[in-house]
Amino acid sequence: MGTHYDTLGVSKDASLDDIKKAFRQRSKETHPDVAGPGANPDKFKRISSAASVLTNLRQRQLYDQELKEVMRYGRPIDHSGSAGFGGANAGARHPNQGAARGMQGVLQTIYRPFNLFLVAPLVLFSAVTAANYFLKTDELSLDNSSKKVEAWRNPQTGQWEQPAPWDPAYKEYRKKHSRLDLVPRDQVRTREI
């Protein structure tokens, strides 16, 4: 058996209008109600199946990908009696095909734009909640005096102070020191604003 393109008599780069035109022409020749004595119901089913796959953009992309695999690996392609891909013996050709399509369906559901707007915030919220939970449990195990904060030693007073970008002494300190020190919170002088 040939490909869906062969069944409809169109090229692989045929437009949607060309495929629809070919389907109408071939279906008139084989449809049981229209063709009369020249009707061929089996051929009409194959033509309908081919048209349903090739007129659906997503199914056509998947079908073209399958054709590339057939060309690469040389497996025979059989579309007799199928409404889409494979055929009666599709399981024999692709033993993991069902599992792959199941995973593909899950990924398609997740990656739809509408679902991303629902799933992404939920995942982000869950990650932030989990991070906060674990950070808070670590903080609860420490008492207040052992918590460390970034501070700098003021050379004028000799005390540890909180960073203040507007303070001229702090600006001079930052020119000589690239980073702040971690000091227990109870040793750092708080600034009065």
The set of residues, in sequence order, having a beta carbon less than 8 Å from that of 97 and lying 6+ positions away, is 86, 90, 91
Go through the domains of the chain in sequence order and give each one's CATH number: 4-110 (1.10.287.110), 144-189 (no CATH)
Contact 47, 24 (CB under 8 A): no
* Residue 77 DSSP SS3: coil
pTM higher than 0.75 = no
- Classify the phi-psi angles of 158: left when phi > 0, otherwise alpha if psi is within -120 to 50, otherwise beta: left
pLDDT tens, the chain, 193 aa long: 588 888 888 988 889 999 999 999 988 888 877 767 777 788 888 888 999 999 998 998 998 888 888 777 765 555 544 444 444 444 444 555 556 667 777 766 666 666 667 777 888 888 998 888 888 755 555 555 568 888 888 888 888 888 888 888 888 888 888 888 888 888 888 776 5
